Structure 1
């Protein structure tokens, strides 16, 4: 089920039907990353640079190399920060374009099924902001856990696998059911959704390709929601 959904989503990424939403999603993801990059750089400058400037003047001249080390550490920190910003950028784009992606997937993959209904714009914005905040907090936690031996990179996959899987699945499900019903469906299939989220987290970890994470994740979860819905209907049909 999960592999089929991931394969179907990946095969659609560069299809002609996806071209318009592909360009919009990629463009907005890049803009979100640039904005977040400048934001984190300003925060870093505000927190770190006064401390560095205060430290260096009182040191002997031969310790000037500390400035170089500080600059290198700052560069590494900013690069790591940018890598971790992909997930929050994905959260922003998801709330704005998931319905566009879902509509294309439903028309091309399930032309005979009843199409879903877009989440109301205001509610979608609220959910996107909430999702963004949760992902920021989750990735800050993952960043701290990177320092813990034996956890390290696994923290990144577990945190993002859970958060992205949960939110993208619920977004896809809410096109066909109420918000509470979408949450209930996700809880009943928590293991499947989490494993699908790990696939998204793995996609997120691939440089360059991860810029397409919102597109891939949204398409994958539309396919997975369809598969899960059919699987839940089968026992009811058999009993009837």
Structure 2
């Protein structure tokens, strides 16, 4: 896992991977900005205090500003999830860049439809957003929030990145079997990614790092018989 991590860091220098990162950041910024403007406008259009003598006007304005700031902070927390969602749509580009550099002997991967890639990516992003919204209830207890965040996100990131990468080489049933047999390694890989996800700025590279790292984990643990069996089952 450690070697897979450092190999994945080296893969970030690939121009194709950097291009995916740049596009994902741009799309995520546009999404976050659009949501912030929309939600701030909705909050400002809701009258909470009304025309209460003396305090009504400025208190209403203060609440509008506080609401806008709260929305902004929430979107900052969710930004990595947006980034992961968009990066997952370019999973094939990232995986091919890694495989061509390190595993040129691999045959052509299973032909995933665009819809399948979108469904997997949307599910991944939705799970990350939903669970991290739930974890916000523990934010007033920083140590608990941090440990729970690492544990939950470690499981999710390991599982979902393995699915994003693994479905290119295995059919769903074989992937489930592989994940069960390698559940400890999958979780620990996800835990490394979860720790990185908690570091501001560094978490921006998480989607690409996670994809590249899981390619290395997968290809480093599959035996020769897996290559043949998986390719045959995927082509059938």
* TM-score bucket of the superposed structures, by smaller chain: 0.7 to 0.9
Is the contact made by 1:157 and 1:201 (CA closer than 8 Å) also made in structure 2?
Answer: yes
Moved more, 82-91 or 60-69: 60-69
- The alignment partner of 2:219 has SS state of helix
- The alignment partner of 2:116 has SS state of helix
Matches for 1:1-240 after TM superposition, within 5 Å: 2-14=1-13, 18-43=14-39, 45-46=41-42, 48-50=43-45, 53-55=47-49, 57-58=51-52, 60-61=54-55, 64=58, 67-68=61-62, 71-72=65-66, 74-94=68-88, 96-148=89-141, 150-230=143-223
Is the contact made by 1:86 and 1:211 (CA closer than 8 Å) also made in structure 2?
Answer: yes
Moved more, 68-77 or 147-156: 68-77
- Sort the Cα spacing of 1:27 and 1:73 in 2 relative to 1 into closer, same or farther, 3 A: same
- The alignment partner of 2:222 has SS state of helix
Pairwise CA RMSD of aligned residues?
Answer: 2.8
Is the contact made by 1:174 and 1:182 (CA closer than 8 Å) also made in structure 2?
Answer: yes
In the TM superposition, what is the alpha-carbon distance from 1:179 to its structure 2 partner? Answer: 1.6
User: Which whole-Å deviations, capped at 9, do the CAs of 1:56-90 have from their partners, x for residues lacking one?
Assistant: 64264499478547625642542243222312430
Q: TM-score, normalised by structure 1?
A: 0.80
User: Which whole-Å deviations, capped at 9, do the CAs of 1:99-131 have from their partners, x for residues lacking one?
Assistant: 111111111111234353342222111222222
Q: TM-score, normalised by structure 2?
A: 0.81
Structure 2 unmatched runs, 5+: 227-236
Q: Name the count of aligned residue pairs.
A: 226
In 1: Cα distance, 2:91 partner to 2:189 partner: 17
In the TM superposition, what is the alpha-carbon distance from 1:5 to its structure 2 partner? Answer: 0.8
